[in-house]
Each structure stands twice: as C-alpha cells, then as structure tokens.
Amino acid sequence: MSDVVEKTLTALPGLFDSQTGAAKITNRLRQLVKSITELTSKHEEENLIKQELCAMKEQVSSPNTSMKQMREIMVRAMYCEMLGYDASFTYIHAIKLAQQGGVLEKRVGYLAVSLFLNEGHELLLLLVNTVLKDLQSTNLIEACMALTVVAQVFPKDMIPAVLPLVEDKLSHPKEIIRRKAVLALYKFYLIAPNQVQHIHGKFRKALSDRDPGVMASSLHIYLQLIRESPDSYKDLTGSFVTILKQVLGGKLPVDFNYHSVPAPWLQIQLLRILSLLGKEDQSTSELMYEVLDESLRRAEMNHNITYAILYECVKAVYTIHPKVELLEKAARCIGNFVLSPKINLKYLGLKALTYVVQHDAKLALQHQMTIIECLDHSDFTIKRETLELLFRITNAQNVTVIVEKMLDFLRGCNDEHTIIHLVGKVSELAEKFAPDNSWFIQTMNCVFSIGGDLLQQDVPNNFLRLLAEGSESKEEDDQLRLYAVESYLTVLKGHTSHLPQCFLQVMSWVLGEYAHLQGSVDRREVIRLLTQLLDQRSVSSETRVWILSALTKIPEGQTDLILDLAERLASSQDTVLRQQAQELQHLSQDSQLHEWVLPRGAPWDAIEVDSSLSFLDGFVSEALAAGAAPYKPPHQRQEELCEDRALNLEPYSFSLPVSLSSCSITDRQSPTLLSVSSGLSGNSTELSQKAGSSTLILEGVKRVWGKDGYLPQKEATAPLVDEPSAAVQPPVQQEAAERTEPRPELSTRNQDKQQLASSLFVGLGVGSSVSLLGKSEAPPPRFRKKPRPHESSSSSGTSEKSSDSSCRSSHNTTDSFLYGSFLEEEPATSKSAFDHTPKSTTANGLSQNKDTKEDKHTNTSQIFGGDMVIVRPSTIQDKHPPSESSDLTALLPADLKDLPHSDVISLTSDPSLSLSSCRLFRDEALLLLIFISNCTETVIKDIAVQLTCEELKTASLRGNIVDCLEARSTSVCHYALLMDDPHTNVSFTGTVSYQTQPGHTNTLPFSGTLSTADFIRPLVLTTEEYGKLWLSLSHDVKQNLKLLTDAGDPLRTTLNALKDALQLHVVDIIGSEGIVACRLLSSAPCLLHCRVSGAALVMWLRSPHPALPDCILYHCQRALAHR
C-alpha cells in the first residue's frame, strides 16, 4: 500500500493546478499553509498565526461577512486549532454556521462543532434546535449531518429532546439514515442507558435489517448489552450464529469484502458476542461449536485480517465451554502466530498465549524457545507482553527466575505506568510463591526501591500486614521478621539518601516493631541509624513521623539518646513532630507508662477498640445530671433550626415536622439514644438497662482493631492457585524443548537459552494435569494470608474466573428477586396504605404502612406465641428451626418491627449455614438485615460477616461478629446502607467466615442487588410547597411514558402504579396533570410533573441531583412496562 501512497513534497506545485475546483474555497487556507511551511522558527509561526487570528476575529464580528466567507474562516480556524492555537472565539460562529447556512455551510459548521466542542460544552445547547430542525428535514444530506453530529457530541441532558426523532429514523427507507440512527442510539446508550431502555425492541428490528450495514451497526449495541447481562440475550444466540454462518458462506455483497475476506469487522464483532454468550454455559456453547470450527478453518489466508479473526476465534474457543477438538485446533493456530516472522503477529500470538495459559498452562511449553527469544527482544512492547505471559505461568518452582527477569526489565524501564503495573505483579508473586525468607525480603526490597513512591499504597500495607499477622507458626514468623530487621539494618548502613520514602517508612516500622528480636545488635545502633535518617533533608515529614513512632517503640534503656533527640525536635517547625517529641520524652522517662501504652509483643488480636465509646457513658450521664442538653445529631439540629426560624429565607429547604417519636425510631442505632432516653428518664441505672435491651449490645460483639475487613480468624483454605504442581525433572523438560524446537547445533548461547527454558518452564510439565479438564492441586503458598477484603487483583486465572462466575450467577438470582418479588410484593403491602390520604401529617409517609405491616407481624408471630419478647436482638437463640424463610420476619428485632420491610429472601447457603436477607426501609437509610441460620446440630463459632458495596456507604450496626451460634438457631446482622449518588441498580457482595471445628475456617460468599427504588422515600408536601420547590430546581429531564389506559381514569391509575412500585407521594392531581414528589433517603428531593398527552404520559422531572431523575425515570419505565 505504502508505495501507492508514496509521494513527496515535490508534488507541491502540480497539486495547486490540478485541483482548481476545490482550491477556490480553500484559497486562504492554502496561503496560510504555504506561508507556514516557509517559516523557519516556531516563534515566527506564532506571530503569523496571531496575526491570522486577529484578522479572523475582525472578520467574524463584521456584519458584512457573508456565509461563504464565514465558511472559509471556519476552515482556517479549524486549522489553527489543530496547530494548537486557541480559536475559541469562532466556536459560537461554528454553531451559527450550522444554524443559518445552506447545506454547504452546514457541513462545515457541523464539522467545526464536532471538532471544537465536547459533550460537556455549554454552547452545544444552542445547537439543539438546529439539530431538531435538520433531523426533520426532507433533505437526506441534512438529516445525515444532524445524525452524525448527534452520534458524536450531544449534551446528555438534551437526549430526550431528539430521542423520538432519532427513533423514527430507525424505520427510514434509506439505509444510511437507519445506520446512523442506530449508532446515535448506541451513543445514547453509552452516555445515558436509562433513556433508551424502552426501545430495546427496536434494536432487534435493526438486527434483522435487510441492509448488512445497519445490522452490523446494531451489533455494537448488542455487544454492550450482552457484556452487561449475557443471560437476557441467550435467545439471540441462534441468530448470531446464523449471521456468522452467512457471512462465512459469502452471502454478503462483495462490497463488504476486505482483501477478499468477507466482512471481517462483522465477523469479529459476532465472535466477541458469541464468546460472551457461551461463557460458562454449555448448552449455548454447543450451538456455536460448528460455526467456530468453520471460522477457524476458513481463516487460512496469510493476511493480517485473517489473523485478526483467528485471534478473536481462539479467544472465543477458550472462553466458552471447552470442547477438546476445538481447543486443539485453536492451540495449533496460536503456533502460527507465535512462530510468525512478522512482529505484529508475534505480539498478538503472545497475547493469545497469555490468555490461553490461564486455562492450560501446558500450552506455553510448546513455545518456550520463542518465549525466551521474545524475552530478549529489542522491542519494549514485545518484552513486556512476554513478562505478562510469564507472570501467568509462574509457580513455586520457577518463581525466582521469572521474578528476576521482571526486576531486570523494571530496572531499565522508566515508564511510570509500566513500573506501577509490574511492581505490583512482582510483589504478588513474591507473596504467593516465595521459596524462602531471604529471597522474599530481598525481592520486596527491590520492589520498594524500584517502585518507590509510585507504588500503590496496598503493596507496603500488605507487606507489613503479612509480617505482623504472620502464619500459624510463631517461630517461622519470627525468623522472617528477624531476617527483615537484619536486611534493613544493612540497607540503612549504606547510602540512604536515594531510597524512596515508602521504603524508609516500611523499614522504620519493621525496626520499631521487631528490632528487639535481634539480640546481637546494639539497640543504640538501631537508634543511631534511625536518628540519622531524621537529619536527612530528603526525608519527608510523613516519613519523619514513621521514624519517630519507631523510635518510641524501641524500649527504654537508652534514655540519654532519646532525650537528646526529643530536645532537638522540640523546637521543630512541624507541630506533629513536636507533639511526637513530647510523647517520646514522657514515655522514655516513665517505663511503666511505656509498657502500658506500647505493650511489647502483644498479639494483634488482643487489641480491642470500643468503637461505641461506651467508656464515656458515665461522663455523659454526669453531664446530663448537671443539666447539660442531650446530644442531638447534626441533621436533627438543622431541622429544628429551620423550624424555629420565623422567616424561611432559603428557597431550597422546606421544613418537615419532626416528632420526637420519629426521632427515637430513627436514632435507635446511634449512641444518641443513650443521651436522649436518659435525658427523659434522668435515671442513670435505668439508662444502662435500656441501652442493653434496645441499643448497644457490646458483649458478644468483638471489635478488633484494623480495617473493617480484618478478622481474627485464620484462613485455612489457601489462596487458589491454578498452576499444576508437577514434579517433572529438568532432563525431561529439556527433551521436550528440543523436540518442539529442533536445532541441529547447539551453540553455547543456545545452551544458555535451553537452560533458561528449563528453569522458566519447570512445573508446567507434560505430566501435569490440564486444569481445564482435571483438578489440579495447588502447591501450598509460602505465606498464608488471612482473607483480604480486596482479593480482586488475584492473578491466577481460574480463581478469577470462578469468582467471576459465582458472582454472576448469584447476581442473576438476585436480579430475578428484585424484579420478581420486589416489584410485585412491595406494592401489595404498601398499596392500601397510600390509598387513604395523600396528604398525611406524619413526617414520613411510610409510617402509614404500620397498620398493614403489623397485621402481617401478628400473623407470623402467632406461630411463635404472640407475646414473644426478644431481649437480645443481636443473637436470637430461638428454639424453633428457622427452616421457612418467611418465618424469619418474626425474628426482626422489636425496635424494627414497625418499619416497612421487604420479604425475606434467601441469599445463599451451604450445609452448615444458610443466609437470608430482608430490607427495612427507614427514612434516612436502608437497613439490610442478614439472617444467619445454623442448619447443623452443632455449635458454629466465630462467625464474621463482611459486606462491601462500592456505590453505597455501608455501616455495620451490630451482629456482624458472632462468637458462637447454637445449633438450629439464627442470628441477625444489621447493616445500614446509604446511597449518596443514585445508581439504578447496585450490587453488594460479602462473605461469612465461620468455624465448625476449631481451627477450620469456612467462608461462604454471598451477593445481592438493590435498586434505587429501595432508597426512594415519599416526600410529603403541599401543592404550594411543591410549586416553590419546583421553581428552585434546575436539572430537569423530560420523557414520554406509557399511559395505563385500561381503567377509567388513566392518569390516576398510572400514578398509583408508579406510587406502588416506587414509594412516591402523589401530591395532587388537577385535571390532566399530576404532581408527585419523592426523595433519595433523606437527602435530594425529586419532583415529578406528569401530564396526559394523547396516549402517553409526559413526565417532567426536576431534582437538585443531576442523576436522580434518570434513575427514577428508569424505574418508572420498568414499573409501567411490567404491568
């Protein structure tokens, strides 16, 4: 190709003559370009452009400038911008040009807009009307231009305005319009998925469009949709397979061929979709074996494009449910890549290998010589990809060689991203496979000194944690610690000025904590080394704090040195350091105090922190007795402040009546109640009882110092390791290498390589089982780690995959519970409550639900005896077997029984434990109750629940740690969930760890999904207040919804349906309009204004929170669609 394109600058004069037609328009541009090329310095260019821009500025503001001239100016402005100069004064004119010009000007105007402005630019709002007009134009070109600009830059908030028009275009007679419309919708889907929710059906029509271009465009949307939820589209597998078959069979017009390969882009898109659909799904996978086989077979031509398809095919074969025959073929294909002399193909081959060795590490063996050659390749990209591959095949036997290769690479690398990435991998491998202490510490030293302060914080954190927590054997731990101390002392004796801060911090912590293990070294020496660091200028103040803490920990005895130091620091500029110096001074003089504050060798688990601050109870009651006002949380103070104010000056806030009773309900969980209730009773003895019965239960709740994920249990199950541990002797290895890579004469260099090969690929022997088909035994990692909250970075392929799948499958079940039970059950209970009076006097519309809920409770609790009193809600030792999950509602703590709640849903179970959850809707939070039921006849000990959700704020209220759960009993664990930013759906995950026998810890993962609807609360206000609030809000979203016309009063029916699905409050219905209000928990309100227009309901939403209307709209659409 390049020879066709090849042309040199000598063609310049000829070019001017040959293109006179076009030259007319761009004459000025030509002059500009020409004069720029004649310039010699950057400075001259700057001056010239400055002049040019000045002239342009004058021209655009002159009223005499014609549209045609404007067009020409715009082209020059684009050119100047490309050169990097600011021509922002033309932006508005670009929009004008698109607005007012003829087709010709429009084309330039739209192009300039798409180049100048990006999605968020405010000027784009001015374009909306133009786009609307052009979308309706009968001129094909104008419509095309409008769609093109819509698919490139369009303000998210304005999507509803053009959406109906774009939707209409899906059935336009011209395929080019349909194609562009599909891509515009794809773009909308990416930036605002909720808004196109209702047109999914039309995507199917696009998929079966008679024009291949339109069909291919719709695949972009499907790929995205299927990536998000593959299960919803399994029924389309057949269609995708048929399309791929037709493409392969050459049924498409020849135009779509690319270098005589039929529609390669389409093929690749389809292969990606199929691999997503077939992943972990045998029956779906079976549908596609045949076509994948054909794909592999057909891609035989030696051209980049066939390799691109092959690569995608191989990936698909290894992603879907395995079929041996196909796997073999795919593995052979990889050979073609890896052995290719073309470097691009080699790269892709390595990438493919990296992917497949996660499924079958043995595959790397066949290509070991190539891999070793790539390892020494001069191209950085190839080297890095090779290391990535090696990382995947690392096991306990080859770890030292591989890590060394990685560190070598890192030493010569100066790209920040690469360093961060690889250093993380090295530390991961070191923790997992370290053969001995010294190697581990040395490697980590390298990691810290190379990675330095670029390191992600969790690398040093994990390392220190590993040292601190240790394993089962104290002796081994101490050896490791001792080695670390020795190694650091050596490091510190050398040059320290170049060491990264993070390494210094790690060293000082370790020395402070474990220097005492080292008997032979003088304590004075340690202190001297650390003090030396303090004198260095390069040491940051944060590191100084670490060093001082270390010095504080080193026991007394060297008072003179310490006092000396403390004195010097006492005059430091840094207040933190001064403070620490003070502490140091006091502690070093009082050995008893030192022992008390910093106990030597205290086990980590023993440090208990009373997070409830119960030790202050006495202080609080004393203060109350002395007449102090009871504590009020900030939000309550705020609300009361609003009430007191005679004139409400803030348009945004609106006062809600706060009754004391509602306070006490809402504040049950916080220590506040202590003071509130005692303030009422004035009796401190009663206070403690009360606290014991209904609020803070401190006994039995083990609080442990550390992150909320840190649990005292030891993990018995080793981290999943994929690599088969085979004991293959190096000779056999060598033989295998020679077989695949026959070399007649082995030079010494080759011998070196052979040797390297045998050390790199040891442990991947032929005799080792294939992890895909058989179970492989994981070698025990050297350092056993306790469960970490974020193990997601875990490297081993299968563990990633399996956790992935478990996540997904449980996700599905919860999905169905959400849309099945939640949308159906919830309304059933709340319907009657809302039907009475829309305007209620209570602060929260939900409390009306009490009546119905209580009915339900009495029913269920009669089973247990109606007057059952639950004294200790956190661990309910109930005699009745909690086999029926619905019975569990009876176990709701007394103080929560009055709250509206969802049904109890089973989360997960194993032979010993079963977990179910129930959602309770409190005004300011969603309570998630997790019922942990012991299904066995024996006692289960040390149960610890851990819940994480990225999008929500979660707080464990109580019961997340249970020391001991009797046979056949159930304990309740409370979580409060807060949603600050609306998300349509959020999923939470968590684990329960427990011990059935001492020393044997099991973990049971669980997950679930919550929808925004769980966090929506009705907002009760009058029509007047609504009006005021409406005017004060700005973000709005408009959308047409389906109107339920099956009843006499369609508006009322529809609103009631929405009210039932989401807990909305219908403020008023006037004629054909209705106003509805709700809020996200107790924060951002959202106002909905609905108007009947023909057969549709025009809904207009406003909220101070920009994303909230979208979410609510999504659920409204869902609710109406499911009717």
Partner 1 sequence: MQFMLLFSRQGKLRLQKWYVALSDTQKKKISREVIQIVLARKPKMCSFLEWRDLKIVYKRYASLYFCCAVEDQENELITLEIIHRYVELLDKYFGSVCELDIIFNFEKAYYILDEFILGGEAQETSKKNVLKAIEQADMLQEEAETPRSVLEEIGLT
Q: Round to whole Å and give the CA distance between 1114 and 1061.
A: 12
Helix (H) or strand (E) holding 565: helix 559-569
Rounded to 5°, the CA angle 637-638-643 comes to 95
Instruction: Count other Cβ atoms within 10 Å, centred on residue 1.
Output: 5
Nearest distance, CB of residue 64 and partner 1, angstroms: 10
> Do residues 562 and 593 touch, judged by C-beta distance below 8 A?
no
What would the two tokens of residue 133 be?
């007009």
Sole binder of partner 1 in the list 56, 163, 263, 291 (CB under 8 A): 263
**Which residues in the 77-136 window bind partner 1 by CB under 8 A?**
78-79, 82-84, 86, 102-104, 107-108, 111, 114-115, 118-120
Q: Minimum distance from CB of 37 to partner 1 (Å)?
A: 9
* Nearest CB to partner 1, comparing residues 11 and 894: 11
Distance separating alpha carbons of residues 16 and 30, to the nearest angstrom: 9
143 lies in the binding site for partner 1 (CB under 8 A): no
Q: Which is nearer to partner 1, 214 or 947 (CB)?
A: 214
- Please check whether residue 342 is in contact with residue 361, taking contact to mean a CB–CB distance below 8 angstroms: no
* 629 scored as a contact of partner 1 (CB under 8 A): no
Q: In 299-398, which residue ranges form alpha helices assigned H by DSSP?
A: 304-319, 324-338, 343-356, 363-366, 368-375, 380-392
Which of 51, 208, 242, 381 binds partner 1 (CB under 8 A)? It is: 381
Cβ count within 10 A of residue 509: 21
The two three-digit tokens of residue 97, written as one number: 């040009």
Judged by beta carbon, residue 190 or residue 680, the one nearer partner 1 is 190
In the block, residue with structure tokens 């319907």:
831
Pick between residue 121 and residue 897 the one whose CB is nearest to partner 1: 121
CB of 1038 to partner 1, least distance (A): 23
Asked if 187 is part of the footprint of partner 1 (rule: CB under 8 A), the reply reads yes
**Per rule CB under 8 A, count of chain residues that contact partner 1:** 86
Residues 193-252 close enough to bind partner 1 by CB under 8 A: 213, 216-217, 220
Contact pick of 35, 39, 58, 68 for partner 1 (by CB under 8 A): 68
Selection from 597, 548, 598, 551 nearest residue 576 by Cα: 548
Of 418 and 840, CB closest to partner 1: 418
Q: Shortest distance, CB of residue 323 to partner 1, whole angstroms?
A: 23
Longest dimension (CA), the chain: 102
Residues 6 or more apart from 794 whose CB is under 8 A from it?
719, 720, 800, 803
**Nearest to partner 1 of 206, 907 (CB atom):** 206
Minimal distance, residue 103 CB to partner 1, in Å: 5
Closest CA to 399 of 766, 768, 760: 760
- 22 contacts partner 1 (rule: CB under 8 A): yes
932 vs 883, 929, 970, 1009, CA distance in Å?
A: 12, 10, 5, 18
Q: Which of 178, 179, 465, 919 binds partner 1 (CB under 8 A)?
A: 179
Q: Which of residues 127, 183, 365, 624 is near partner 1 by CB under 8 A?
A: 183
Q: Is the separation of the CB atoms in 569 and 557 below 8 Å?
A: no
253 binds partner 1 (CB under 8 A): yes
Closer of 176 and 642 to partner 1 (Cβ): 176
Of the chain, the end-to-end C-alpha distance in Å amounts to 59
Closest separation in Å from C-beta 209 to partner 1? 13
376 binds partner 1 (CB under 8 A): no
Residue 60, interface with partner 1 (CB under 8 A)?
no
Residues 159-178, interacting with partner 1 (CB under 8 A): 176
Nearer to partner 1, 114 or 1063 (CB): 114
* DSSP percent split of the chain into helix, strand, coil, nearest 5: 60, 10, 30
Binding residues for partner 1 restricted to 668-697, rule: CB under 8 A: none
Least distance between partner 1 and beta carbon 187 (Å): 5
For partner 1, the closer of residues 156 and 983 by Cβ is 156
Q: Which residue of 251, 290, 380, 1023 would you call a contact of partner 1, by CB under 8 A?
A: 380
Compute the Cα dihedral for 796, 802, 807, 808 and give only its sign: positive
548-587 binders of partner 1 (CB under 8 A): none
Separation of alpha carbons 961 and 991, rounded Å: 12
Are the C-beta atoms of residues 956 and 970 closer than 8 Å to each other? Answer: no
Residue indicated by tokens 């944690």: 465
Return the SS3 of 455: coil
Among 93, 96, 180, 392, binds partner 1 (CB under 8 A): 180
Contacts with 300 (C-beta within 8 Å, 6 or more apart), sequence order: 306
CB of 293: closest distance to partner 1 in angstroms?
A: 20
**Shortest distance, CB of residue 273 to partner 1, whole angstroms?**
14
Cβ 227 to partner 1 shortest distance, Å: 11
Residues numbered 285 to 344 that lie near partner 1 (CB under 8 A) are 304-305, 307-308, 311-312, 343-344
Residue 172 or 1042 having the CB closest to partner 1: 172
Q: Least separation, in Å, of the C-beta of 104 and partner 1?
A: 5
Q: Of 730, 734, 798, 718, nearest to 398 (Cα)?
A: 730
Would you say 195 or 985 has its CB closer to partner 1?
A: 195
Min CB(780)–partner 1 separation in Å: 33
26 lies in the binding site for partner 1 (CB under 8 A): yes
Q: How far is the CB of 65 from partner 1 (least distance, A)?
A: 10
Of 138, 207, 139, 142, residue with least CA distance to 179 = 207
Round the CA-based radius of gyration of the chain to a whole number and report it: 35
Q: Token pair 């830059």 is at which residue? A: 153
| Residue 371 binds partner 1 (CB under 8 A) | no
Q: Helix axis angle, 523-535 relative to 541-553, nearest 10°?
A: 160
Distance of closest approach, residue 256 Cβ to partner 1, in angstroms: 5
CB of 12 or CB of 628, closer to partner 1: 12
> Which member of 17, 38, 255, 1024 binds partner 1 (CB under 8 A)?
255
Q: What's the angle, vertex CA 413, arms to CA 407 and CA 417, rounded to 5?
A: 100
Nearer to partner 1, 348 or 1075 (CB): 348
Residue 148 within binding range of partner 1, rule CB under 8 A: yes
Of 305, 314, 394, 375, give the one whose Cα is nearest residue 344.
305
Stated as kind and residue range, the H or E segment containing 1100 is: strand 1096-1102
Q: Which is nearer to partner 1, 263 or 396 (CB)?
A: 263
Minimum distance, C-beta of residue 313 to partner 1, in the bound complex (Å): 11
Work out whether 439 is an interface residue with partner 1 (CB under 8 A).
no
Residues 771-810 that bind partner 1 (CB under 8 A): none
Rounded distance between C-alpha atoms, residue 158 and residue 148, angstroms: 16
Is residue 33 near partner 1 by the rule CB under 8 A?
Answer: yes
Q: Which 700-719 residues touch partner 1, going by CB under 8 A? A: none
Strands (E), 851-897: 875-876
Least separation in angstroms between CB 155 and partner 1: 11
